[in-house]
Structure 1
C-alpha cells in the first residue's frame, strides 16, 4: 500500500472515527431543568482613556446625563470634549444560585468609534435582566489584552482587540433570581443530546437505584424524577442522582463535511451498499502571452500586437474500486486513501454515493 496518499489525506482532511460509547455520569450528559445562568446587559461610560475615546453625539449626550445625575447642568449649546470617554456595552452571565453581595466577571465592549479601551475605568453601570430589573452593578478598571498604535504617516498597528476588555469580579449582585429547583414534587433532567434510547436508559438507571416508578422519560430529552420537597434533602438527593452512570446510545449514522475547512467527520455506524466508484482528474490550463512585433526603422512596416496561446492538458491515472455489501468505515477510508482523493474529491464521492442510495447514513454539509 502506498502511504503517501494516506498522509496527504490526513493532513488535508480530518477523518474522525468515533469510539464505542462508555458509561457517563448523569451530570455529564444532562442538566437540571431550571438550574441555569441568566444573561445581564448594561450601557455605560468608560473614562480615563489616553485620548483614544470618541466624540459622537450619543457619547456627549450620555456624558451630559452622567453630569446631570451629579447635579451639574451644562447648557445645550456647550459641547464637552470627550476624547477620554467612550460609550460601552457591559454584559455578564449570572450563575444559578448566586446571592446578593457576591461578585461576577463582566465584559466591556466599545459600541462607538473609540480606538482603544486600554487604561480606562468603567463607572457605575446598572446591569439588567430580560425582565428589565437591575440584578447587578458593575464598576472598575478594565483589563485589555489588545493594543493599537498610530503613526504620523497614517500607518497603524493593531494586535488582538483593544476595544474589548474584562473586569474580574467587576459587578456586585444586588438581586437573586428565583429558581424552581426547590418547588414542586419532581426534578426534571434535560439531556444535552436528545435521544429516545438514552432517555429510557437514564430512567431505568435511576429506577434501579431508587426503586420502580421513581423516574420516567417524558420525551427524547426529558426525564422526570420524584424528589423530596425539603430543600436540604433535595440537595442530597440530587448529589446522589448526578453521579448515576448511564451508557448513552450510539449516535445515528452521519457523515459531516465542512466544505470550507475540508474537515470530514464520519460516524462509526456509517456503511455502504454495493457500489463501484471511479475517480479521475482532468486539468486544462490555458495561458495567454501578449507579444509586440516591431519592424525595423527603415522597413516602413507597422507595429503588430500578437497573442501566443498555450494549452496544457493533464489527466491523472486513477483506479476504480468497488464496495461490497456492508462495507465498514475502515474499508471506506482505506479505499478513499488508495485513490489519493483530496477533500473536495471526497465530498464529491460522498455526494454521489448518497444520490445513488449507496451511503447508509445522513450526509450533512456545513
Structure 2
C-alpha cells in the first residue's frame, strides 16, 4: 500500500511516494524521476516506522541514529595545562637547587635573602607563561570587545603585579616598578593588539598600574610581616589567572569563536619558563639594589647607610645634636613620640 504527497508551487512540482513503512520509494520533480538508493532489507524485528531510505529525513518522523548532538570542547586541555605547570615548577626548583649547591652554598646569607623570592618567582612566572601560551594558541581576533578588554586588562595587570612585586622585594621599588611596568605593558599590548584599540588601551593602563602597584605593595610590606603576606597575595593572583583562563575557554573556545592555532607543549612551556626565570634571577641577585629591600629575617630592611633614611627617628641630645636610634628603625610613631617628648 502506497501514499502520495504532492506539493505544487509556481516553479516546480514535487511528488514523493512512500511505502507502508514510511520509506521513500520514488521522487519526481516536474515529471522527472530522480534515482534513489536501494531499500535496505527488512530487519528480523519487522517493519520500523523510524527507518528512512536514501538518507532522507521526513518531517514528523524521528530517526535516533541521525539525530545526535554534536560533542562540545572538553576541559582536558586545561587540566593537562595545569599538570604541565606543576611539572615545570618542580623541575625549575630542582634546577635552582642544583645551581645553589654548586655556586652559592658557601654564602650563608644567600638562602635567607633570596630563597623565598626565588620560589615566588617560579610560582609567578610559570603560570603567567602558561596563561599567555594558552591564550596565544588560539586565534581570537574575532572575539567580542568585552573579551578583548578583559584580555588586555588581565594580562597587563597580572604580569606587572606578580613580576614587579617579586623583583621589588629584592631590588627595591624603582627596579621592581620599572621591570613590572615594562613587562606588563609589553604583554598587555601584544595580547590585546588584535582585539582593537580599546583592548590595547586597557593593556597599557593595566601594565602601568600593575607594575607600579605590585612593587610598591610588596616593598611597603617588608617591615611588616611580608612573608605572611606573600602567600595570600600570590594565591589571589593565581586565582585571577585560573579564572581568566576558564573565562577565555568558556566565552571563546567553547562558544566556537576561537580557532586552534597550535597547542602549548610541555617543551615550549619549559623553555620559555627557564629563559625568563634565568634572566629575572640574574637581575635579582646581580642587579642594583634600592634603599629598602629584603635582606633576611634578622637583618635591617633598609640600606647600608641608615642615616640617609628620612623616616629614621632621631634623639635630640642636650647639646642640640641628634643621635640615631637604630632599634626604632622605620617607626614613624616613635619619631612623633620623640618629637613630643623633646618639646616637654
More helix by share: 2
* Structure with the higher fraction of residues in strand conformation: 1
- TM bin, normalised by shorter chain, reads under 0.3
**Alignment TM-score, normalising by the size of structure 1:** 0.19
TM-score, with structure 2 as normaliser: 0.20
